[in-house]
Amino acid sequence: MKIIVAGGDGFCGWPTALYLSKRGHDVSIIDSMVRRKIDSELHSNSLTPIASLEERVAKWKELTGKEIRIYEGDLVHYDFLKEVLKREEPDAFVHFAEQRSAPYSMIDREHAVYTQTNNVTGTLNVLFGIKELVPDCHLIKLGTLGEYGTPNIQIEEGYIEIEHKGRKDVLPFPKQPGSFYHLSKVHDSHNIMFACKIWGIRATDLNQGIVYGLDTEETRLDPVLTNRLDYDGVYGTALNRFIIQSTVGHDLTVYGKGGQTRGFLHIKDTVRCIEIAAENPADHGEFRVFNQFTEEFSVGDLANKVQNVAQQEGYQVNISNLENPRVELEDHFFHAENTKLKDLGLEPHLLDDEVIREILKTVENHKDRVIEANILPKVTWK
C-alpha cells in the first residue's frame, strides 16, 4: 500500500513509518518539525539524541534499501497538503500530526488556541483533501482514550446502545475530555464522523492509551534511527518519566493520590495497531472506533513497578505524592473495552519487570542529558 504518515518525525510516527516500510508498504512522511521547535520553546530536549529527519531516512535507505519520502510542511496549509496528496495518491493516511500534550494546551490562552487550531484545522484539511482528491483513501486517525474521561460505567469502543423512555439507539459514547488538548480530539472525532456520513469517507479513529517504551526492532538497527524519549513535566508520559526519575536520584512524582487509572500500551503495539487498521480498512461511510490499549494501571501502580525494578538495579528510589496540577478524579472506576484490535490479530506486549529494566538501561546511557529543572510540573489546570 501507499501510506502517508503525517507527524512521521514524532515519538509514535517515526517508529510507525519504519515499521510499515519494513513490512513492504510504500511510505512517505509529512512533518512540520514543530515538535523539535517546541523543545526550544520549553528549553527542553529528548533524553535520547535524535538525528535530523533527513539523516534518519537516509540511514534507513542505506540499511534496508527502502526509500521513505519526506514532505516538510504543515497540514493547516491546505495548498501544501493537496500537492502531497496529488503526488502520492495514498491508499491510507495515518494522522499523528497533532499537538499531543495536555499540559502544553493548558499553559495559557495562546497554547490552548494553538492546540485546537492546529489539531482541528489540520484534520479538517485532511478530510477535505481526501474528499476532493483521493476518495478511496482510508483515514487512520490517532485519537485518545482521554476523550471518554473517567465515567462510572464501562467504556465501550466508540458507541453505546442506550434505551431511553421505551426507545433504543446506538449512539457515540459520551465524551468527558480533561484538557483543551483532549477537547481538540473530541472535535476531530465529531468532524470525522460527520465527513464519513455525508461524503462516504472511510475512517478509523484509534482511541489510544498512554504509550510507554522507546525502541522497536527497526529503531534499534542504528543509533541514527533512535526514537525520541520525553521526560519533562509537559511531554513526558508517566512510565517513561518515572523510569528517568529513578536513574537521576529524583523522587517518583505521583500527582495527587495516584489512583488515576488509564489504559497503556507499548510503542511496539502502537505500530502494529496501525498496520492492522491499514490492512483491514473501514468501509466507505464507516466511522470505526478502536480503543487502542493493552492494559490498565493506576499512576500509583506504575510508580510501584518502577520503584521495584530500580531497587533491584541498585537505585534508592522514593515515591512522592505531589499536589495534583490537574483537575481530575484521583480515585475512580475505570474499565474500557479493547477487543476489536485483538480480534484482528493484535498480540499485546505486556508490561513486566524486564520491559521496565530494558527502558531503564537505555536511560542510564543518556542520563547526563536530563535537565532536572524540567522534571516537576509547572503547568496547572486552575
Which is nearest to 298 in space by CA: 255, 337, 246, 268?
255
- The answer to the question of residue 381 being in a domain is no
Cell of 152: 462510572
pLDDT of 215: 92
What CATH number has the domain bearing residue 87?
3.40.50.720
Question: How far, in Å, CA of 13 to CA of 11, rounded?
Answer: 6
Tell me if 326 sits within 8 A of 282, measured CB to CB. Answer: no
Tell me if 85 sits within 8 A of 134, measured CB to CB. Answer: yes
Q: How many domains does the chain have?
A: 1
| Residue 185 annotated to the active site | yes
- The answer to the question of residue 118 being in a domain is yes
- The answer to the question of residue 380 being in a domain is no
- Choice among 181, 212, 231, 235 that is catalytic: 181
Q: Rounded to whole angstroms, what are the CA distances from 74 to 34, 89, 138? A: 9, 18, 20
pLDDT of 6: 99
pLDDT of 219: 98
How far apart, in Å, do the first and last CA atoms of the chain sit? 46
Domain that holds residue 282: 2-374
Q: What is the pLDDT of residues 235-247, one digit of tens each?
A: 999 898 999 999 9
pLDDT of 124: 99
Name the pLDDT band for 373 (thresholds 50, 70, 90).
very high
- The answer to the question of residue 89 being in a domain is yes
| Residue 144 annotated to the active site | yes
- The answer to the question of residue 36 being in a domain is yes
- The answer to the question of residue 52 being in a domain is yes
| Residue 181 annotated to the active site | yes
pLDDT of 293: 98
- The answer to the question of residue 248 being in a domain is yes
Q: What is the pLDDT of residues 303-343, one digit of tens each?
A: 999 999 999 999 999 999 999 999 999 999 999 999 999 99
Which is nearest to 371 in space by CA: 10, 40, 50, 47?
47
- Choice among 48, 104, 185, 270 that is catalytic: 185
- Choice among 16, 48, 115, 144 that is catalytic: 144
